[in-house]
């Protein structure tokens, strides 16, 4: 029984960093950039930094980083004038990608603001 308990403790010790890495796959720079922009939009107060930090944490828990980058790219490019912007606005895949980000942002708004 002691061997089983010790094995479980060792297994948990080695698996914990992997699980934490999977949950925290957003680079610090991306999180800081989000918080900076969020604070510009919501006031540069201590409360805003808390809420904005909460917001990116919620988004990160709902969207893997690669999907977040894709959604941010779609949102940026779809604002462009002309043919490129219209291609992104008309694409069903781009619409679905942007919708994923909007849902994550809405959940973050509910939980953090």
Looking at the predicted structure, is the pLDDT value of residue 11 above 60? no
pTM: 0.75
Query: In the numeric block, which tokens belong to residue 61?
Result: 């828990």
Mean pLDDT (the chain) is: 83
Give the pLDDT confidence of 56-84 residue by residue, as tens digits.
999 999 999 999 999 999 988 888 888 87
Give the pLDDT confidence of 83-100 residue by residue, as tens digits.
878 877 788 998 999 999
Of 60, 68, 66, residue with least CA distance to 108: 60
Look at residue 91 in the predicted model and tell me its pLDDT. 85
Of 31, 41, 35, residue with least CA distance to 63: 31
């Amino acid at each position: 029984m002691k061997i089983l308990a010790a094995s479980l403790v060792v297994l948990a010790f080695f698996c914990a960093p992997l699980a934490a890495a999977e949950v925290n796959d957003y680079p610090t720079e991306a999180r800081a950039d989000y918080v900076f922009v969020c604070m510009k939009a919501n006031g540069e107060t201590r409360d805003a930094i808390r809420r904005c930090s909460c917001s990116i944490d919620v988004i990160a828990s709902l969207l893997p980083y690669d999907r977040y980058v894709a959604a941010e790219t779609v949102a940026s490019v779809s604002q462009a004038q002309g043919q490129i912007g219209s291609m992104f606005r008309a694409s069903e895949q781009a619409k679905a990608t942007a919708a994923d980000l909007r849902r994550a942002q809405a959940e973050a708004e509910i939980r953090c603001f």
